[in-house]
Amino acid sequence: MTATSDESKEALKEKLLGEIRARRGFTLPVHELMAEVDPEILRRYNELAGYLLFGPEPRALDLKTRYLVLVGITTAVRGDADGIKWSARRAKEFGATDEEILEAVVLAGLPGGIPAVEEAALALGYTYPDEGNDDTGSAA
């Protein structure tokens, strides 16, 4: 690569990561990895994710339901805690109740197993009693 293409690659990388931080409030390790390998991969991933979540309306699933699905899938595949919290917060923004979010988590235990549900419970603020916090937490 030339210095110019290295500079343009770095500029695209920072632009894309900045857009993700602005939209999500953070970046995930996968975003950083994609940007490092090739910012174009991250751009295309971002484009696909954006289309799937916010593509043309009307869609069969409303945004609340799409985010509830993400809560369940991220739980089932034992995804990152930030992804579970982000999806739960977004589901709430679009009208989901704590009960709906928690039901999505519990349903994920069927394909993902109870350890996946336990990890999601921790991500959503539920703690072990011996950690000095007897608060039951909340879904977001």
CATH number of the domain within which 125 lies: 1.20.1290.10
Task: Look at residue 133 and tell me whether its pLDDT is greater than 80.
Answer: no
- Same-domain pairing of 74 and 44: no
- Between 2 and 53, the more confident residue is 53
What's the pLDDT tens digit per position in 75-115? 999 998 988 999 999 999 999 999 999 999 999 999 999 99
Q: How far apart are CA 45 and CA 54, in angstroms?
A: 14
Q: How far apart are CA 28 and CA 21, in angstroms?
A: 9
Number of domains in the chain: 2
Structural contact between residues 72 and 108, judged by C-beta atoms closer than 8 angstroms: yes
Q: How far apart are CA 85 and CA 15, in angstroms?
A: 24
> pTM for the full model?
0.78
Q: What does the mean pLDDT of the chain come to?
A: 89
Task: Return the pLDDT at 129.
Answer: 73
- Same-domain pairing of 64 and 51: no
Task: Look at residue 43 and tell me whether its pLDDT is greater than 90.
Answer: yes
Average pLDDT over residues 44-66: 91
- Same-domain pairing of 74 and 122: yes
Tell me the CA distances in angstroms from 64 to 31, 59, 60, 71, 90, one per residue in order.
24, 12, 12, 11, 8
Task: Return the pLDDT at 136.
Answer: 46
Q: How far apart are CA 40 and CA 138, in angstroms?
A: 38
- Same-domain pairing of 21 and 1: yes
End-to-end CA distance of the chain: 45
Task: Return the pLDDT at 111.
Answer: 96
- Same-domain pairing of 79 and 52: no
**90: containing domain:** 58-140
- Between 106 and 26, the more confident residue is 106
Q: How far apart are CA 134 and CA 140, in angstroms?
A: 17
